Amino acid sequence: MGVGRQPVPTLGGMPETRSTSPLVVGFDLDMTLIDTVPGFDATLRALGAELGVKFPVAEMTARLGPPLETLLSGHLADDAIGPAGDRFRALYPDHGVLSVPVLAGAHEAVAAVRRHGGRVLVVTGKYPANALLHVQHLGLDVDHVEGWVWGVGKADVLRSEGAAVYVGDHVHDVEGARAAGAVSVSVLTGGCTREELVAAGTHVVLDSLAEFPGWLDGYLLDTRLEALEADLRERGSVLVAYSGGADSAFLLAAAVRALGADRVAAATGYSDSLPQVERDPAREFAESLGVAVRTPQTHEMERAGYRANAGDRCFFCKAELLDVLTPLAAELGLAHVATGTNADDAVAGFRPGIRAAAERGAITPLLDAGLTKAQIRGASRRWGLPTWDKPAAACLSSRVAYGIEVTPHRLARVERAEAAVRSVLGAAGVAVRDLRVRDLGERASVELDAELLTGHLAAGAPATGELLDAVRRTGFPEAVLDPRGFRSGSMNDALT
């Protein structure tokens, strides 16, 4: 997103979508996902040969979309249309499936929905069994196929499946989407013109499905940002639990946009687990927004569960932070304490800190709006925030292997070691983005950007020995370079 994001072609008046609802996108089939013309052509010719009728095939295939019986009307006697339709559908598997290709961008459009964790429907006027044959033959990654529904009749299916978006190529697809309260996205791969689709009330017109992934990215980001702003406005005032990382910085900026700096404050818990190098940049960013910054001391080291450093260490850390910030928010007259938990965090597996914050009443506006880490970075870039590409910066305790007691000495040693690594690489003119020195007891494991391990720090390179010597001088008896490179949360491997 941000710089370089493709324009989002919309026509306004889109229905409101609840960002917290699971994403469900429906697609029409004929001339939206697949080019039905070759199959329809072949089957119609086979039917005509059986019936002794010469159908105007080119004319009938020029505007596919209406029900088959409608297309046959005018070419057969009224009492022959029903039986002819049945025979067409019976002939179709042999004549109309293998010759039909997927339209350009169809697989990518479906994959875009999947990338956002969504479900995919095919809602079509086609005979259900034949529609399913196309989906299976072309390998379309679809959750549900509903056939023999047309125009506004599609609305019942879209509503029952919770579809927020319906993509089609025909004016009657627009009718179905609008009747369902879904966003109507139209593609110009069928027989309807842009003018016809606009007149029917579509919300979006795309030249083809190739444009759909970019549109969906922009639509979801815009929708979720609107939901975030509405949520924050409703909250009235917030104290942001602010680490200076990309998520909490974005939340702070969003809160200022929604509420004004006078109804927002930032609080950064100072303790041995917060790297010194993070403190001044975090304060400077918050102050650039006009936000008051509080830096209360937190004492997680006094909690036995934190020092023990079992798998639930983060629970005790977050509990301490919220136990400090909740009364601070009350003292400042702010209604809520908000954390930067995002939608990815909620599905990332083991997150005891989220539970501790929830138990203490903290709110999670980014998660509630459905914003993912990538969307937060995209929106941060759009807003011109310097934190949009800031590397993840977990607390120093996350570097200590589970089961090894967390102490101020260990945290200070890790911080010195990381500073030493950056100094060695900086002197060599090597830029490093992600770096962790893991404390494995008496041994340090250095994790760096994987690309450095095949270049400047390839096995046997003199720079590798120099780097590890620098780590040893900070107090580690042993030091090794992890050949797998940097992996966020790699300490959690020991828990599985």
Residue 199 backbone dihedrals phi, psi, to 5 degrees: -65, -30
Given a cut of 90, is residue 350 above it in pLDDT? no
Residue 10 DSSP symbol: -
Given a cut of 90, is residue 373 above it in pLDDT? yes
Average pLDDT (377-387) is 97
Q: Does the CA dihedral 249-255-261-263 come out positive or negative?
A: negative
Given a cut of 70, is residue 276 above it in pLDDT? yes
Average pLDDT (256-270) is 97
pLDDT digits (tens, 9 = 90+) for 224-260: 999 999 999 999 999 999 999 999 999 999 999 999 9
Residue 8's pLDDT is what?
40
Pick the residue with more confidence: 458 or 434?
Answer: 434
User: Cα torsion at 369, 370, 375, 379 (round to 10°)?
Assistant: 0
Residue 459's pLDDT is what?
62
Q: Where residue 196 falls among pLDDT bands split at 50, 70, 90?
A: very high
Closest CA to 223 of 272, 165, 179: 165
Average pLDDT (391-403) is 89
Q: Where residue 1 falls among pLDDT bands split at 50, 70, 90?
A: very low
Residue 308's pLDDT is what?
96
Tokens of 358: 């929830």
User: Cα torsion at 266, 267, 268, 270 (round to 10°)?
Assistant: 150
Average pLDDT (297-321) is 94
Residue 5's pLDDT is what?
29
Measured from the Cβ of residue 290, the count of other Cβ atoms closer than 10 Å reads 11
Closest CA to 442 of 396, 475, 402: 475
Q: Which domains does the chain possess? A: 24-34+101-219 (3.40.50.1000), 37-95 (1.10.150), 236-393 (3.40.50.620), 397-495 (3.30.300.10)
Q: Could you give the strand order of the β-sheet that contains 478-481, starting from the edge strand earlier in sequence?
A: 435-439, 443-448, 478-481
Residue 229 backbone dihedrals phi, psi, to 5 degrees: -60, -45
From first CA to last CA, the distance across the chain in angstroms is 35
Closest CA to 235 of 345, 366, 346: 366
